[in-house]
Structure 1
Amino acid sequence: MDKQQRRAKLGETLAAMRAEAGLNQAEVASRLGKPQSFVSKYESAERRVELSDLEEITGALGARLEDVIARYREAVNAG
């Protein structure tokens, strides 16, 4: 799996966790103090997510970083 595919899996994971938290992209963006396009772009793998961003996103979702990483690894391993 190449980097772009891994980025897509992370975006899918974050989108799924956002939906499970009952949030839309605008709500997450508001919590992050960023435009909605920021959320859209990392969810669609148009934007790379830095670790500091991932920590903030995780907090905005009300999740733990460890849980996001575990879900991401499951998605990558599943192909």
Structure 2
Amino acid sequence: MCQRGGMTQTQLAKKLNEYQSFVARLESGQRRVDVVELIRLSEVLGFAPDDMVRAVAAVQDS
């Protein structure tokens, strides 16, 4: 289950117009998110994409 979004992989996949396996690969780290997907995820899950980019950059710098 997607903790922040409060929905299952299947529910998120439906909102993204993707397969559940797509969400599972993202969640497990088997697949990276491209910019277009990041924007769509931010719309569906309600976060600012620039905040996410900064958070990832901070982890990479440490």
TM-score range relative to shorter protein:
0.7 to 0.9
| 1:39 pairs with 2:61 | no
More RCO (CA 8 Å, sep 6+): 1
Q: Which has the higher helix share?
A: 1
- Which residue matches 1:6? none
Query: Structure 1 residue 51: deviation in Å?
Result: 0.8
* TM-superposed deviation, 1:20: 1.9
1:53 aligns with 2:53: no
**What's the RMSD between the two structures over aligned residues?**
2.1
Q: Which amino acid is 1:72 matched to?
A: V
Residue type matched to 2:52 in 1? V
Q: TM-score of the superposition, structure 2-length normalised?
A: 0.74
Q: Where in structure 1 are there 5+ consecutive unaligned residues?
A: 1-14
TM-score (norm 1): 0.62
* Aligned mate of 2:14, from 30, 41, 54: 30
Count matched residues: 62
